Amino acid sequence: MAPSGAPRGDPPLTEAAAEELLHGICFKTGPPRTVGAELEWLVHDLRDPRLPVRPPRLAAALDAVRSLPLVSALTFEPGGQLELSSRPAGSLMECLDQLAADLRVVRRALGAAGLTLSGYGVDPWHAPRGRVLHDPRYDAMETVLDRTGPAGRAMMCDSASVQVCLDAGLDEPGPLGYDRRWRLAHLLGPVLVAAFANSSVYGGRRTGWLSTRQALWTDLDPYRALAPRPDGRPREEWTAHVLDTPVMCVRRPEGPWDVPEGLTFRDWLRSGLPRPADADDLRYHVTTLFPPVRPRGHLELRMIDAQPGHDGWMVPVAVTTAVFEDAEAAETVYRAVEPLAERAGDGPAPRNPLWRDAARAGLGDPGLHEAARTVFATALDALPRIGAGEEVRRAVADFQERHVIPGGCPADELQVVTS
């Protein structure tokens, strides 16, 4: 999530200028060259993760982590989850190596405080954790998300993910074209949800979902977490979606921010109230939208649960990068996931039946299982072509053998635990 910030005082924005700005900043086209990843982690007691970590202890440990010399960007989520965001890397291995090195440093610092990083899509033991960070952005977000129930607070404070960031692609037809990559991301998304589901236990109880984290996203407000249908005009579709989504907040230099109800950004532009909106307000508004695929110049794939173990996060990053960055793999996977589009119906992701089936049944769903087998086999073929090291290829092969071929996921191995 983006940090808070006050308006910069840009000139007021017209509706036409807003559309032009969104066209330019959300899909920056060109040959795919860079990859990035954002890793969110729950922070638990090192000796016994069932023990609650009191806010003063967590705050002291996070303050110590802030002083570390890291290459990745370090931020914290509202419930104290730790997030590392890689710099845009020129290759998959550069991205993985950078994050792995920073994670070793962070783990050592937390270990000295008796804490550890845990990879789960939602907290298996503690729910709700409660908000640790208090600033105008998160105050406003909590107010808005509370309007539709408790899922918003759970998402803010109790969840963690692996996000993969890839270039938007070429401004031309073909497997590396940005319109094809946009559609591929939305059709591949449910397969990634199903294969990497790792949140069947929440607060010590089984929820009936393999990816409870994804289920939470489906219960957020009816605009903010949704995606426009990927029907071949991504710039126009996304621009309209951004402008027609209600504003989360109107920032103020001092004091609490305004939290209007039902005011779309288009309404704000037309009315000029409660104050005229400018370009920085529009850029900030984009950061308050949380669809499963978010275009921010590049594409953010946001649907993958945090993964178990020290290095489990590498597998979804490697698989997703391989099937996007290798043209042959992209075309093979696109053909494999295209039949899933009919099951999605007319509903937007992640509320349509396909995404719900992925979160509830995982690869127990025959169609998703068949697609996942193709995705992983294709990724394994492509990984050497994009320079993946032997250790990474072996990790993907092991995951394929352990989970994908038999039709399972990491959530199958979670045990119900209580404090």
Distance of CA 349 to the CA centre of its chain: 13
Per-residue pLDDT at 2: 45
Question: Is residue 121 in some structural domain?
Answer: yes
Per-residue pLDDT at 419: 41
| d(C-alpha 250, C-alpha 30), whole Å | 34
Q: Are 81 and 122 in contact, with CB atoms under 8 Å apart? A: no
Q: Give the number of domains in the chain.
A: 1
Contacts of 206 (CB under 8 A, 6+ apart): 200, 416
Per-residue pLDDT at 416: 59
Per-residue pLDDT at 344: 87
Residues in the chain, pLDDT under 50: 1-4, 6, 418-419
In degrees, rounded to 5, the angle at the alpha carbon of residue 333 between the alpha carbons of residues 332 and 339 is 105
Question: Is residue 411 in some structural domain?
Answer: no
Phi then psi for residue 274, to 5 deg, are -80, -10
User: 234-244 and 15-26 helices cross at what angle (nearest 10)?
Assistant: 130
SS3 at position 332: helix
Q: What is the pLDDT of residues 352-382, one digit of tens each?
A: 999 999 999 999 999 999 999 999 999 999 9
Question: Is residue 3 in some structural domain?
Answer: no
Per-residue pLDDT at 417: 54
Question: Is residue 6 in some structural domain?
Answer: no
User: Which two tokens mark 214?
Assistant: 């994804």
Which residues in 382-413 are b (16+ Cβ under 10 Å) and which e?
bbeebebeeebbebbeebbeebbeebbbbbbe
Per-residue pLDDT at 137: 94
User: Which two tokens mark 103?
Assistant: 């994670």
CATH number at residue 97: 3.30.590.20
Q: Are 22 and 282 in contact, with CB atoms under 8 Å apart? A: yes
Q: Which domain holds residue 102?
A: 15-404
Per-residue pLDDT at 418: 45
Q: Are 223 and 209 in contact, with CB atoms under 8 Å apart? A: no
